[in-house]
Amino acid sequence: MAELNTLEQWYYDVPIVTRVWTTAAVLTSVLVQCQIVTPFQLFYSPASVWQKRQYWRLGTTFLYFGPLSLDFMFHIFFMSRYSRNLEESSFRGRTADFAWLIMYSAASLLILSPIASMPFLGSPLSFSLVYIWARRNPAVRLSFLGLFVFSAPYLPWVLLGFSLLLNNTLPKDDLLGIVVGHVYYFFSDIYPRIRNGSRPLDPPAIWRRMFAAAAPPPPEAPAARAE
């Protein structure tokens, strides 16, 4: 019972956006494993979405990381770790802004997907978050498989090179994630310094109001007792 309570506490300690994405990704792979749905019903296909009106593909393409396996567990761990790190650091207390980052990255990848022929977009989406986290934490030192130590900004390129060595081909989906992440990083961290604080990729006011309305009200302070 204590172990279940600890697991539940850990689960609810994960920030809301990362928690929802990770849970949906695990459930999607479980449904595929149980043969309730198939990967052919999940990938992004412009023809299927816009001609056959299978609009769910706009979301499920970001949720399927492959069948339940060691590779799946690696991708889920990698995705949830850096998504959580980013949500708890740069976007702490700013759920609306982090959700907008996910929305921007997802929309960008959907637009670019037909050019690069990428049916599943979960990996490049998580790679864009890794890139942003790495650029915003230049002082963090990381170790790769215990072989060498490097600064966080090199993390996306180390992972890209490792994937190239393993598969003997350039991982264009992860490279596209880096491009999408860099565009966001440029307009959120560099552009405001050269354009008097202008932040063109910030969420609109209506988006922030929507999240503010959904947030639970702060707890009321206990009333003072009369002596």
| pLDDT tens-digit map of 82-137 | 999 999 988 988 999 999 999 999 999 999 988 878 889 999 999 999 999 999 99
Q: Say yes or no to pLDDT of 221 above 70.
A: no
Q: Which fold has domain 12-213?
A: Rhomboid-like fold (1.20.1540)
CA–CA dist 70, 127 (Å, integer): 19
**What does pTM read for this prediction?**
0.87
Domain assignments of the chain as residue spans, ordered by start = 12-213
CA–CA dist 11, 162 (Å, integer): 30
**220 Cβ neighbours under 8 A, 6+ residues apart:** none
CA–CA dist 202, 200 (Å, integer): 6
Q: Say yes or no to pLDDT of 6 above 80.
A: no
35-78: per-residue pLDDT in tens?
A: 999 999 999 999 999 999 999 999 999 999 888 888 888 888 88
CA–CA dist 75, 79 (Å, integer): 6
Amino acid found at 44: Y
155-191: per-residue pLDDT in tens?
A: 999 888 888 887 777 788 889 999 999 999 999 999 9
| Short-list 199, 219, 22, 14, CA closest to 97 | 199
Please give the pLDDT value at position 187.
93
155 contacts 173 by C-beta, under 8 angstroms: no
